[in-house]
Copies of this chain bind each other. A is one copy, B any other.
């Protein structure tokens, strides 16, 4: 009897939370076996809006879609928080080998690429297998040529190749321009073997003249390497036509919706993904999936009765081109003082395999309850500190609590930023597992009776800057679009 009493005293919150935990587990299992809302939203956004490049009329249609759907679903306080941004749009894009082995290559422009004349440019190709090799090369080997950079990215479950092997895209163009190149083509930052090049943003370093910058599909990049090898002493000449342009200031915006909580003092949980997509595909994995996952999970919480904490969904604009929506949201609301937890979904819809938090010891028990709820879904607890994603990362960096639900990224970079990012790449069963995991986490966190404590600024990370970054100010970052 004494023993039992001691046990109960020692685990007060666990004992206390058991009915809530049972309810969360039931909600999780219902989502796993029967969620249809996420798929419906995913199909609706990718079909009825399709590609939705930041700042374009198509992204505007996506906001209208989101406001309509969130309102119909019964969320509260549905509204748009607009912001202005500079918009870059794609033009024609062609590459061909002129000599010694004439043939076309599949290419797409990188974000903020400079433009060639309409007739294109023609120059000799010079190959480097890394940014470091380009950096080390004498300028005269680069001047007047088209730089070609390759890399060795492999598919990893945690997506960790994207940071280091993305350097050719992020740092290559500015470096090539500085050294006098007339253009740059990179091996797409990806892991597939299809002739769909991977676009993605890059930003010119201060004072650097923009040059045409494109990504070859991976089969085409390997073809170019073979052409260079078989050409021997003969120069390999490429003709490049890339005619993107800046169309000036346009409107983008974040769409916000809420499940109001019963206790205004308990703080707000902010969740979300981004509404915009690259223009090449319909943005199913990047990031209609995040829109669908966060909305469907929040809807389940709402349907189960009013939670203690408010859950706020933010569907961000203009993530791909520079995290403009995430930055605008942080700048606008960082002073509100009521955000206690951020959770973001922006890595497709394959199964969640791992989760992480940045909780303080005061929230160890909440972390354990989440761990227990996720274990039946096959989810392990990671040792890394949670840092949210591109859009909500500023909050975690600034010291707000975060939970990361890591999707399996093994095939994510097969499709990422390509024409191939389409609905068929999402597996409905894995999508349901995501909803189950999200529903469990939101149920546990929104109804936790203990406070969710702020862990404080992430060690070793810079404080977020005070103002939204302009494209020319952005730098390479391991986390980002």
Number of residues on chain A facing chain B (CB within 8 A): 35
Chain B CB within 8 A of A44 CB: yes
Chain B residues whose C-beta falls within 8 Å of the C-beta of A106 in the assembled complex: 419
Bits for A44-79, please: 1 = Cβ < 8 Å to B, else 0: 101111110000001000000000000000000000
Q: Are B47 and A227 in contact (CB under 8 A)?
A: yes
Given contacts A51-B104, A58-B103, 5 further A-B contacts (CB under 8 A): A47-B223, A49-B103, A194-B194, A222-B424, A223-B423
Instruction: Report how far A424 CA is from B221 CA in the complex, Å.
Output: 11
Chain B residues whose C-beta falls within 8 Å of the C-beta of A193 in the assembled complex: 422, 424-425
Q: Are A101 and B420 in contact (CB under 8 A)?
A: no
Chain B CB within 8 A of A447 CB: no
Chain B CB within 8 A of A287 CB: no
- A–B Cβ pairs within 8 angstroms, 6 of them: A44-B230, A49-B103, A50-B102, A50-B104, A195-B196, A219-B420
Chain B CB within 8 A of A467 CB: no
Chain B residues whose C-beta falls within 8 Å of the C-beta of A422 in the assembled complex: 193, 195, 219, 223
Chain B CB within 8 A of A203 CB: no
Q: Are A101 and B47 in contact (CB under 8 A)?
A: yes
Chain B CB within 8 A of A282 CB: yes
Closest to A52 in B: B103
Chain B CB within 8 A of A226 CB: yes
Q: Are B103 and A50 in contact (CB under 8 A)?
A: yes
Closest to A231 in B: B48
Closest to A219 in B: B422
Chain B CB within 8 A of A408 CB: no
Chain B CB within 8 A of A286 CB: no
Bits for A87-103, please: 1 = Cβ < 8 Å to B, else 0: 00000000001000111
Shortest Cβ-Cβ A-B pairs, 4 listed: A50-B103, A195-B419, A219-B422, A47-B226
Chain B CB within 8 A of A43 CB: yes
Chain B residues whose C-beta falls within 8 Å of the C-beta of A43 in the assembled complex: 226
Bits for A213-254, please: 1 = Cβ < 8 Å to B, else 0: 000001100110011001000000000000000000000000
Q: Are B420 and A194 in contact (CB under 8 A)?
A: yes
Instruction: Report how far A24 CA is from B227 CA in the complex, Å.
Output: 37
Instruction: Report how far A252 CA is from B263 CA in the complex, Å.
Output: 80
Closest to A220 in B: B422
Chain B residues whose C-beta falls within 8 Å of the C-beta of A230 in the assembled complex: 44, 47-48
Q: Are A50 and B101 in contact (CB under 8 A)?
A: yes
**A47, A51, A282: which has the most chain B beta carbons within 10 Å?**
A47
Bits for A453-466, please: 1 = Cβ < 8 Å to B, else 0: 00000000000000
Chain B residues whose C-beta falls within 8 Å of the C-beta of A218 in the assembled complex: 424
Closest to A50 in B: B103
Chain B residues whose C-beta falls within 8 Å of the C-beta of A226 in the assembled complex: 43, 47, 423
A51 contacts which of B103, B196, B222, B424 (Cβ < 8 Å)? B103
Chain B residues whose C-beta falls within 8 Å of the C-beta of A97 in the assembled complex: 50
Instruction: Report how far A49 CA is from B226 CA in the complex, Å.
Output: 12
Chain B residues whose C-beta falls within 8 Å of the C-beta of A196 in the assembled complex: 194-196
Q: Are B48 and A101 in contact (CB under 8 A)?
A: yes
Chain B residues whose C-beta falls within 8 Å of the C-beta of A223 in the assembled complex: 46-47, 50, 282, 422-423
- Chain A contacts with B in 20-54, Cβ cutoff 8 A: 43-44, 46-51
Instruction: Report how far A440 CA is from B33 CA in the complex, Å.
Output: 54
Instruction: Report how far A251 CA is from B419 CA in the complex, Å.
Output: 37
Chain B residues whose C-beta falls within 8 Å of the C-beta of A46 in the assembled complex: 223
Distance in Å: Cβ of A398 to nearest Cβ of chain B: 38
Closest to A415 in B: B194
- Chain A contacts with B in 423-448, Cβ cutoff 8 A: 423-425
Chain B residues whose C-beta falls within 8 Å of the C-beta of A418 in the assembled complex: 195
Closest to A222 in B: B424
Instruction: Report how far A344 CA is from B420 CA in the complex, Å.
Output: 35
Distance in Å: Cβ of A300 to nearest Cβ of chain B: 24
Chain B residues whose C-beta falls within 8 Å of the C-beta of A102 in the assembled complex: 50, 58
